[in-house]
Amino acid sequence: MIESLLIANRGEIARRIIRTARRLGIRTIAVYSDADVAMPFVRAADEAIRIGPPPARDSYLRQDLIIAAARRTRAQAIHPGYGFLSENADFAEAVIAAGLIWVGAPATAIRAMGLKDAAKQRMMDANVPVTPGYLGEDQGLARLLQEADAIGYPVLIKAVAGGGGKGMRRVDAAADFTAALESCRREAASSFGDDRVLIEKYILSPRHIEVQIFGDTFGNVVHLFERDCSLQRRHQKVIEEAPAPGMDEATRTAVCNAAVKAAKAVDYVGAGTVEFIADASEGLRADRIWFMEMNTRLQVEHPVTEAITGQDLVEWQILVASGEPLPRRQNELKIGGWATEARLYAENPSNGFLPSIGRLEHLHMPEGVRIDSGTEQGDEVTSHYDPMIAKLISHAPSRRQAASMLANATAGVEVWPVHTNAALLARALRHPDFLAGSVDTGFIDRHLADLLPPSEPDERVLNAAAASLLPKETQDPWTKLIGLRLNAETYLQVSVEVNDRPHLVTLDHSRRRIDNSPRDVVFIDGEAWPFGPPRADHAAGEQNMADGAVIAPMPGTVIAVSVAEGDRVLRGQPLVVIEAMKMEQTLSAPLDGTVAELKATSGAQVTEGGLLVRIEGDK
């Protein structure tokens, strides 16, 4: 058995690995960047080593520094977690060459599945069904356009070396193909150092079904059943569950057996996930589910599989890496109940899901569900890494019970002043279509109007805010007695600002309640509403959005500028692209006019609220 383990990762997954390793009596070593020096995973490890400044390319992606840290601390093995170097075959080989144990897939399997075109060809050779598309070497625009026309729109452009939703663009018409291809290639080159693409038929009612597989060094491969990861936004998973709703036993057997066949085709060892795309227009059917890709690592959503099988997948990884056989045979694995996972992100759904950064001055998580979190109250959410704050996981006898449990949990999340998607998660889990199992990858976009939090506070928010502002003396200038009669109830009218907008609230003073929220914030159903007494200068505080100023909505890096001073632009025309937290944000012209001022330059760092472009409108 491995006795000491260095975790080449950060945040939530690092804490998760440490938890299992400690239970197994394994000494743990964390590595951290300067941005993470005070993070919980650093404190949780038995030992921690600094490896560089905040940018991942200078710290968590530095193979030499990580291996040096392992040697310095006399670690016996390295666990890469997910993301960063977890699917880097060169790193896997470097770890082994350094005399260390690699707790991950073999480098040969990583390479075989790392390039999507080669992986699909290998799957076709192994008689695993794949999505129709183009996998050719000719990457010229003319050839790619020709193939897209032959496949038929809509099509999906995918980075050959992609993953995690990066380097993917849906194209609905030939006129949009060139622009989408350029954007996809730019993102692929930035994220993976490889701008090659493949083209697939875009499935109009897609379900994202994936199968957890495990192999050992003795040639044994098993599956731990399927997960449904269809609730996505911009190809990033938001809510996952196991097993998949609407999956009958015959279809389950077919797709799980296909996953095992895929793993055996590359002599797989360790934890992996075989991902399939299903055309769910007529329900889940074995003849309408196709191989999409294989992730040669542990997945973010692995807790739902752990919940329904009762297995610790990190423990399995450590055992297999230690040279032991799989802990269970296929006939010893059963599905027990239903599990659902929601990813709590630091983002603002009401503002285009832009990342939200800052200090977590208030952070409260609910009880009764599993919480896998990389942060605690007082920690800083930065622009350097993924914006996920935590994962919330429920497990219950039925799907409806699991969904209800998780909906209540996400509604009970309290975060301030960082924005989160907690309210959206709760609404999605309570949505009638979700509860009916009517899910696909377009669910969130299709129901976005129902899922977004309201722009104005409801009566519960106003009453809680106004009641907490009530003074002990009713002569306060913000209150006034109304309808005073002997032996009658007393009512108070209170002025309050919620989200910087004034409201007048009438309260029954005899039944008032005080909501002692930190920093004057009302938390209801996953939403956070800051409040306070009215400001005298409120009316002057509104920003004129028609002044032609294009400002940075978040801190990040300018990766593209498509205009110059003096250029004529039309409303909606792309001007600048900013990247932060693995997300590209395209900023467009707010009106027709001329570029009067250009502050943005490619490669420059920008701060939230900084001027990028000013458009002088047509007279």
* Catalytic machinery residues: 297
**Are 27 and 46 a contacting pair, CB within 8 Å?**
yes
**Are 166 and 157 a contacting pair, CB within 8 Å?**
no
Phi, psi of 213, deg, nearest 5: -120, 160
Q: Which long-range contacts (CB under 8 A, 24 or more apart) does 504-513 make?
A: 505/462, 505/463, 505/465, 505/466, 506/482, 507/463, 507/466, 507/467, 507/470, 509/470, 509/474, 512/467, 512/470, 513/463, 513/464, 513/467
In order of 338, 499, 539, the CA distances from 535 in angstroms are: 50, 12, 9
The string over 392-408, giving b where at least 16 C-beta atoms fall within 10 Å of a residue's C-beta and e elsewhere, is bbbbbeebeebbbbbbb
Single-letter amino acid, residue 510? S
Q: What angle do CA 248, 254, 257 make, to 5 degrees?
A: 130
Beta bridge partners of 355: 347
Residue 381, helix vs strand vs coil: strand
> Which candidate, 291, 402, 384, 389, places its Cα nearest to that of 341?
402
In order of 243, 261, 338, 382, 401, the CA distances from 309 in angstroms are: 10, 21, 10, 35, 18
Token pair belonging to 402: 């699991």
Question: What count of other Cβ atoms lies within 10 Å of the Cβ of residue 531?
Answer: 24
Token pair belonging to 556: 């990040």
For the chain, the farthest-separated pair of C-alpha atoms sits apart, in whole angstroms, at 89
CA distance 456 to 501: 9
Kindly report the length of the chain.
619
In order of 71, 228, 590, the CA distances from 52 in angstroms are: 17, 37, 40
CA distance 94 to 82: 18
